[in-house]
Copies of this chain bind each other. A is one copy, B any other.
Amino acid sequence: MSNTREQILQTTCGLMEKQGYHGTGLNEIVKESGAPKGSLYHYFPEGKEQITSEAVLQSGKLTATRIQNGLSENSNAAKAIHDFVLNIAHHVEASEFAAGSPLTSVAMETATKSERINAACREAYSLLETAFKEKLLECGFTKTKAEELGTFITAAVEGGIILSRTYHSGDPLRMVAKHLKVLLSQ
């Protein structure tokens, strides 16, 4: 695997997480990644759509494994998810509210504009939902409940990140952690 190509993708993930699809220019990616511009269209001949699609998918995979690893630290589902969301709150704060939710902006901007990027976003989100769902399955939830709650947890966390980044405070995410725990404990 080419190192330059990987570098371009990672830089794209970071920039789009911070400022979305339209807010991120190819020149910016080139500059920040240190990659030569000639390489950009060498590795991604289909342009920005291709780079974005691959970056979105990469973000999804990375986030999904982070969820898996985070949740594996605790055998109780409610407690595991509670602590995991607290960790996100900390991460968002540590980034000065520029990180968290790497998919949101891109997903919203391209939902009805680019078939290709939208497909990547769907796949990425379903990876996240599945990661939560499987933890719930392990902990004895029925298949239906695990699926439904996987979606619900993803939505609540997603929304919590948005509020936390907007308010420049981890508190909304901490509220989400607390009440998800209530919901999962009953």
What separation, in Å, do the CA atoms of A23 and B163 have in the docked complex?
A: 21
Q: Which residue of B lies closest to A169 (CB)?
A: B122
**CB atoms of B23 and A166 under 8 A apart:** no
- Asked if A35 CB lies within 8 Å of chain B CBs, one says no
On whether the beta carbons of A160 and B167 are closer than 8 Å, the reply is: no
Complex contacts, A101 vs chain B, CB 8 Å = 108
Whether the pair A23, B156 counts as a contact (CB closer than 8 A) is no
Q: Which residues of B contact A121 (CB under 8 A)?
A: 166
Interface check A162, CB cutoff 8 A = yes
A10, CB-defined interface residue at 8 Å = no
Q: How far is the CB of A8 from chain B (nearest CB, A)?
A: 20
Q: A residues near B, CB below 8 A?
A: 18-23, 96-98, 101, 104-105, 107-109, 111-113, 118, 121-122, 125, 148-149, 151-152, 154-160, 162-163, 165-168, 171-172, 175-176, 178-179, 182-183, 186
